[in-house]
Amino acid sequence: MKIIDLSLPIDEHSVEVHPFRIERLGHKEGIRHLNWVMMKRTFLGRLKFFFGKRIIRYKDLPDEEFLSLETLHCPVHIGTHLDYSYHYGTKSEGRRAKTINELPLEWCYSDGVVLDFTFKKPAEVITYEDMETALKKINYKLKAKDIVLLHTGADKFFGSSNYLTNYPGVAPEAIAFILDWGVEIFGIDALSIDRPYKFMLADFLRTKDPGYLWPAHFFGRKREYAHIERLSNLDKLPPFGFKVICFPIKILDCGASWARVVAIV
């Protein structure tokens, strides 16, 4: 058995659409912080703290170190994550849209299929016909519960500004095609399942057609599905014959959540 990591890190040094930061409290600073948490509850405690009083001292701890603490101020769409119905809108298939904590866990562990779309350009979309051709190329017939992974090669740009603009989108009819086979989760190794913002906006401004704006995401209002964004290492997988595990972190009432996505070959 071989486990292949299909996830990207949450990296504060990468170029991102949304601002975020990671506060890092080191082992030495952690001792000061620990005392502040204990002593700040009263005015007298705060006063003693500022005058150097400590309940727990450096010498009271092994190696004069406490525990590290990292605090993320981070959107759920940074790093590898799953999007579910509530992200797309308040309703899906005419019913209340479900949040990520309501995603059926049975969807998140199943057979995987990789389809090659590395030939697609950033301004283009993966079409219904592209899906059919990619499946014929690997001689595979989709079945219910398959997790379909779309390989664009965009993950190689992660960390740079190219990651924000160099990937294709997915056409709604292509999503419908795989959903009709019983697929409930699909994923892509790019920032989004829709084309880069600059191409969508340019087409919208040129035509005034709102259909150019996030059509793949908004399709989730018509059909219920979940999708994974920001995958990586799809080039290390065979076309099929492996399992995908993509359980999201359980966060209440959110449209998306981070996941450590792996493949078991």
Cα 109 from Cα 101, distance rounded (Å): 16
Q: Give residue 175's pLDDT band: very low, low, confident or very high (50, 70, 90).
A: very high
How much is the mean pLDDT over the chain? 96
pLDDT in tens, 95-145: 999 999 999 999 999 999 999 999 999 989 999 999 999 999 999 999 999
Confidence (pTM): 0.93
Q: What pLDDT is recorded for position 247? A: 98
Mean pLDDT of 206-235: 98
pLDDT in tens, 182-220: 999 999 999 999 999 999 999 999 999 999 999 999 999
Cα 161 from Cα 191, distance rounded (Å): 11
| Domains of the chain, each with CATH number or no CATH | 3-15+76-264 (3.50.30.50), 21-72 (no CATH)
Instruction: Please report, rounded to a whole number, the percentage of residues in the chain having pLDDT higher than 90.
Output: 97
Closest by alpha carbon to 89, among 222, 252, 227, 209? Answer: 222
Q: Give residue 18's pLDDT band: very low, low, confident or very high (50, 70, 90).
A: confident
pLDDT in tens, 37-80: 999 999 999 999 999 999 999 999 999 999 999 999 999 999 99
